Chains A and B, each alone.
Chain A
Amino acid sequence: MTDNSAARSLVFRQRQTAEEILEPSPWSKLRRRILGNHSFLIGAVILAAIFAVAILAPLLAPHDPYDQDLTKRLTNPFWHEKKIDAAHVLGTDKVGRDYLSRLIYGSQISLLIGFSTMLISGVIGTVLGVTAGYFGGRVDMVVNFIINTRLAMPVFLVAMAAVVAFGASLTVVILVLGLFLWDRFAVVMRSITMQARDLDYVKAARAMGCSTPYIIVREIFPNVLSSLTVVATVEMANAILLEAALSFLGFGVQAPTPSWGLMLNEGREYMFFSPWLLALPGVCLFMLVLAINLFGDGLRDVTLERER
């Protein structure tokens, strides 16, 4: 009798272990999905590299990005044969500043703009979207009107007007973009919250008498988190491109800040003889935005547990 039950429990235990071996742990599943997702990996690696460059800028940059040397104006980068300067690998700009150093410091500006804008617009959009989605009815109607009004405003034109009004500076650009780019956050958060509101365990929490803030923070928010991060990457890329375009037209970050968009503006008059002045900052912008997009696309695939 005892032998029998011991044997049975042994068999039972063995079956359990067999199942455990067949069924990988959630973490190893996640790891496998991440490693199997090339766009996530490539995006993450490039993004990490650009982060490292931005943080280590003072160590990596061969020169001070603000140091002018009028005797060495517009020297060519290393792949040219004439008018090159060994000290300036990627040449110098119109006032003799080292181009490589300016490109390196430019990554700080773009990342700063991208992150701060994303944080501001993320908070505004999430609050609006979750409120509208959770409460519905009149609240939803009002928030929907605010979202539609925002969408009807031509962002670029109004951003330019705001920069003219409040004066062009890094802070103004961040605030203006942050106050404008929350529409996608709001739209996505609203629809996901609407779905999450009717889930059984949220209903259960409501039935148990949990307070509304508790339900929103503890029951709803974990549901919207993965979509939130995906939207955040999209908006970060968007903000970086808009800042570059604003600075390019002279309505953004002001000289002598090494912003990639501003460098494109400054290089424009030399496009005939020194096209690399335009090519290089653009390539940097392209790589950063590409990395963020790949990372975001990959993140969506990884978190949505789509079986490949």
Chain B
Amino acid sequence: MPAYTLKRTFVALLILIVVSGLTFSLSHLSADPALTIGGEQASEEDIQAIRKLYGFDRPIHVQYLDWLGRALSGDFGESYHYKQRVFDMVSERIGRTMLLGTLAILFALVVSIPLGTLAAMRPNSITDRIALFIAVLGQALPTFWFALMMIIVFGVWWRWLPISGHTQWANYVMPTIALGYYATPALMRLTRAGMIEVLASDYIRTARAKGLSPASVLFKHALRNAIIPVVALAAVWFGFMLGGSIVIETIFNLKGIGWLSYDALLRSDLPVVQAIVLVFASFYVVLTLLADLLNAYLDPRISVR
């Protein structure tokens, strides 16, 4: 197990280095950052001076190693546009994105687990078909369009909810639903499949034969076991949701790091984009690493393979 943990952690770190290296070269090879910083009025000499000052005249791998070395000590450089430290810009806003992501995944779980359980109680019944139908419709609904429709109905026509900002709790209602509903079909299907399997198992039959109430059998015995893979999938979805937050935060003007990355891309503010790619990638890598290690802990055969 310790050897396995070490190996997986090493691979995770290697993945982060490759991901950041790829994004670094992608953004630096194509666009000339000196032109972005100098602006349209800059003369050829200004551009040359900027190149020297920021070190853009060095080979790309030297620039990358330099960036990586600083990034490891928490220094992600300075924003070309706002002239602020990128670390401060990101840490100031990351809380909002985390809050939105957490609320969204909770919303998805709260909707999908009861629906999935209800569907599994009577497979192929009317309830089951309706639940599956909702799942199929939900999967085809473009997230950003759903968000826009909610804004029109709840924000503009009925004026129930604010349509932009991040200061009150009400600001989070529509973004949470818009970001969260997309995960519900997958989570619901998994709950349903898990429950159908568990409900057919021997220990459930024993529990029923003992004369336990149907509710106790369902919630205490069945759901507890069926829910484990659902929670694991939810963790992976949490990683995806941070990526999805770019569109949602932009639409609702909720200024988390998703919005920040959009803003930075509009201004070709590379250091900011670099840092946010690394944040998103780290989240995914850490979540999968934890899931892998947990799996190996629960099933020791995995770490020997």
Which residue numbers of A lie inside 8 Å of B, CB to CB? 39, 145, 148-149, 151-158, 160-162, 164-166, 237, 241, 244-245, 248-249, 251, 264, 268, 271-272, 275, 278-279, 281-282, 285-286, 289-290, 293-294, 297
B window 276-290: CB within 8 A of A: 276-277, 280-281, 284-285, 288
Chain B residues closer than 8 Å to A279, beta-carbon distance = 149, 152
Chain B residues closer than 8 Å to A153, beta-carbon distance = 19, 22-23, 277, 281
Say if the beta carbon of B298 comes within 8 Å of chain A: no
Tell me whether A161 and B148 are in contact (CB under 8 A): no
Say if the beta carbon of B62 comes within 8 Å of chain A: no
Q: How many angstroms between the C-alpha atoms of A165 and B31 in the bound complex? A: 5
Tell me whether B148 and A278 are in contact (CB under 8 A): yes
Tell me whether A156 and B276 are in contact (CB under 8 A): no
Pick out which of these stretches binds chain A: B202-210, B211-219, B238-246.
B238-246
> Shortest distance in angstroms between A97's beta carbon and chain B's nearest beta carbon?
20
Chain B residues closer than 8 Å to A264, beta-carbon distance = 144-145, 148
What secondary structure prevails in chain A residues at the interface with B?
helix
Pick out which of these stretches binds chain A: B69-77, B97-105, B260-268.
B260-268
Interface size range of chain B in the complex: 35 or more
Tell me whether B142 and A244 are in contact (CB under 8 A): yes
Chain B residues closer than 8 Å to A158, beta-carbon distance = 23, 26, 277
Which residue numbers of B lie inside 8 Å of A, CB to CB? 11, 14-16, 18-19, 22-23, 26-27, 29-31, 136-137, 139-145, 148-149, 151-152, 156, 242-244, 246-247, 250, 261-262, 265, 268, 273, 276-277, 280-281, 284-285, 288
A157-B273, A166-B30, A248-B247 known; A293 and B156 CB under 8 Å?
A: no
> Shortest distance in angstroms between A37's beta carbon and chain B's nearest beta carbon?
13
Tell me whether A156 and B140 are in contact (CB under 8 A): no
Q: Find B136's partner among A149, A165, A294 (CB 8 Å cutoff).
A: A294
Tell me whether B243 and A268 are in contact (CB under 8 A): no
Chain A residues closer than 8 Å to B29, beta-carbon distance = 165
A43 closest partner in B (C-beta): B136
> Shortest distance in angstroms between A44's beta carbon and chain B's nearest beta carbon?
15
Q: How many angstroms between the C-alpha atoms of A151 and B288 in the bound complex? A: 10
Q: How many angstroms between the C-alpha atoms of A272 and B152 in the bound complex? A: 7
